[in-house]
Amino acid sequence: MSFASIPAGARCLAPAKARAKFDKGNTWLWDKVKNDPEFPKPVYLGPKSPVFIEQQLDAYIAAKASQSMVAA
């Protein structure tokens, strides 16, 4: 669990909003958090309040998109 500071101006997304960016389910999201070292980890606002930094999710999506373009 990370109680790291959130950068000024960063947009925080609840897990449901983070999942919506990928059009995936809850199990997929937490599997990515647990098993993909490149996937952005949540920041906890409290013991049961995880949020994802939208800019980190966008950077992850961009990196995966460029990797797929290079592979093609």
* pLDDT one-digit tens code per residue, 36-69: 999 999 999 988 999 999 999 999 999 999 887 7
Cβ contact 40:1 at 8 Å: no
Where exactly are the structural domains of the chain? 12-71
The residue among 3 and 25 whose pLDDT is bigger is 25
Q: What is the pLDDT of residue 58?
A: 97
Cβ contact 7:43 at 8 Å: no
Measuring CA to CA, which residue among 2, 19, 20, 10 is closest to residue 54?
Answer: 10
Structure tokens at 30: 């937490």
User: Predicted confidence band at 4 (pLDDT cuts at 50, 70, 90)?
Assistant: low
Checking if the pLDDT of 72 tops 60, the result is no
pTM, two decimal places: 0.85
Rounded to 10°, the helix 15-22/26-35 angle is 90
For residue 23, give the 3-state DSSP assignment.
coil
